[in-house]
Amino acid sequence: MEKIMKRSGLHLLLLLAFLLFVSACGSKASYEPRAVNPEIDACEVCNMSVAHEDFATQLIETDGTVHMFDDIGCMVKYLHGEGKDKEVGATYVRDFETLDWVPFEQAYHAYHPEFWTPMAYGVVSFETKEQAESYVEKEGKGEVLDYNGLEKVNWVMQGH
């Protein structure tokens, strides 16, 4: 009887291991954002230090390669230029207030050419529409844009 119990336990363990393996094979890859290290992280486009973490963005390729940017405008330029043929797993922007990473496609942005950003693109990102609206109201200028609305931004540095 003890032999049967051990064999059954082994079969159960093997079955569980197999199910775990099969479920892992079918699951979608996870592309978690990584922390900014201002000491070593430099923008992929302009090569400036990613010193203003509240404006940092990042792109993660499907192979796990992480590209950091100091301004959302640099990431957009990368996506339309050198990075257009990359296999992108995820893109993130930083919530200006909380510093939480937010998926680029889900974020809201306050935009005005005169808003200060590290590379002068004038786009400040937030997790919620209400945060972006509050920022625009506080600044007394600008507009709130979602991901699709960013198409109207002229991705040219406005100068500081």
Each residue's pLDDT tens digit, 39-93: 999 999 999 999 999 999 999 999 999 999 999 999 999 999 999 999 999 999 9
20 shares its domain with 57: no
Q: Are residues 72 and 122 in the same domain?
A: yes
Does residue 159 sit within a domain?
Answer: no
Q: Are residues 143 and 89 in the same domain?
A: yes
Q: Is residue 146 domain-shared with residue 105, that is, in the same domain?
A: yes
Residue 5 lies in a domain: yes
Does one domain contain both 23 and 88? Answer: no
Q: Are residues 108 and 66 in the same domain?
A: yes
Tell me what the pLDDT averaged over the chain comes to: 86
pLDDT of 13 above 80: no
pLDDT in the model for residue 28: 55
Residues 75, 147 within the same domain? yes
Residue 154 pLDDT grade (very low, low, confident, very high; cuts 50, 70, 90):
confident
Domain membership of residue 118 as a residue range:
53-152
Domain contains 35: no
118 & 59 share domain: yes
- Residue 84 in any domain: the answer is yes
Neighbours of 39 (CB within 10 A): 8
- Asked, for residue 37, whether it belongs to a domain, the answer is no
Where does residue 91 rank: exposed (0-12), middle (13-18), buried (19+ CB within 10 A)? buried
- Strand locations in 10-159 (E): 57-61, 66-69, 88-94, 101-103, 108-111, 123-126, 143-145
Please list, in sequence order, all residues whose beta carbon lies within 8 angstroms of the beta carbon of residue 124, skipping any fewer than 6 positions away.
55, 96, 109, 110, 111, 115, 117, 132, 135
Count of domains for the chain: 2
